[in-house]
Amino acid sequence: MGADSICLKDMSGILTPYYAYELVSKLKNSVKIPIQLHTHYTSGMGSMTYLKAIEAGVDVVDTAISPMALGTSQPPTEPLVASLQASERDSGLDLGVLNKIAEHFRPIRDKYLASGLLDPKVLGVDVNALVYQVPGGMLSNLVSQLKMQNAVDKYDQVLKEVPRVREDLGYPPLVTPMSQMVGTQAVFNVVLGERYKMVPKEIKAYVKGEYGRPTVAISEDIKKKIIGEEEVIECRPADLIAPQLETFKKEMQEYYEQEEDVLSYGLFPPVAIEYFKYRQAQKYKIDSEYVDKSQKTYPV
């Protein structure tokens, strides 16, 4: 179909070692393009899963340098490199260099822990990942949301609520943005003490069909709780959006250098404009802050 590679994304860290071996083996027998595996260490199986996938012939695995690894992050780089040394799948990476990188990030990790930016709750193995199949990134978001609500004590209740919300919503895959949407709704349901008393606009849009059709039909009771009597769209959601490309081109034409710039602006307007200004300043030595656009002048 023209793909350059295939990435297996195990966002919940629930891919088991022997299933990973079977999955990668069958893929390698079927396709010739590179296969990449991405998992999290939340369930504690990450390194074992990678090792079996490597035995099956996987081409790339995603890891994190050890101070920033484990928990809701990726398996650590250094132990895997050491495990593969002198084998057929030796990575060729230098442990001495990796150690220097780890030494650089160790005090940064300590600073994040001391400031509270990094929460110890998401650094260890959490069996809830196996029970509730909640992705690592979603767990860290839940902790952050509960802290803001002064309700960290309700963490376990929210974890139990997540699969209920997911069932209500037709089993959407727990990957961005749906994981954050489901997690936020679970937090609201628990903290407010009433299910669907408050519903974010993104969840309403999803139930209305603006994210496409769910895997399993949403019950009429849940629809009524979330969107009332509003109609669910049956067509392709993008068909309801007026063409915008030409408008985007006009709005950012002073920064236009290539077609990709229009797409960047259309997707992330404020971020793209800041980048365009920076690029302009670097390339043409023009700082947009000093440009008088009405007089079309620039101080020298």
Residue 300, classed as helix, strand or coil, is coil
Q: Model pTM greater than 0.75?
A: no
CATH 3.30.565.10 fits 6-118, yes or no: no
**Which residues fall within 8 angstroms of residue 102, CB to CB, at 6 or more apart?**
65, 66, 67, 78
* Rounded Cα distance, 234 and 222, in Å: 18
Of the candidates 67, 57, 133, which has an alpha carbon nearest to the alpha carbon of residue 37?
57
pLDDT score, position 136? 63
* Edge-first strand listing for the sheet containing 60-61: 6-10, 35-39, 60-61
Contact 214, 223 (CB under 8 A): no
**Whole-number Å distance between alpha carbons of 104 and 118:** 17
For 134-239, CATH number out of 3.40.50.720, 1.10.472.90, 3.40.50.150, 3.90.950.10 equals 1.10.472.90
The segment(s) of the chain belonging to CATH 3.20.20.70 are 6-118
Mean pLDDT per 10-residue section of the chain, whose length is 300 residues? 93 92 97 96 94 97 96 94 95 96 96 89 79 72 84 89 94 86 92 94 95 92 94 90 93 93 95 92 76 71
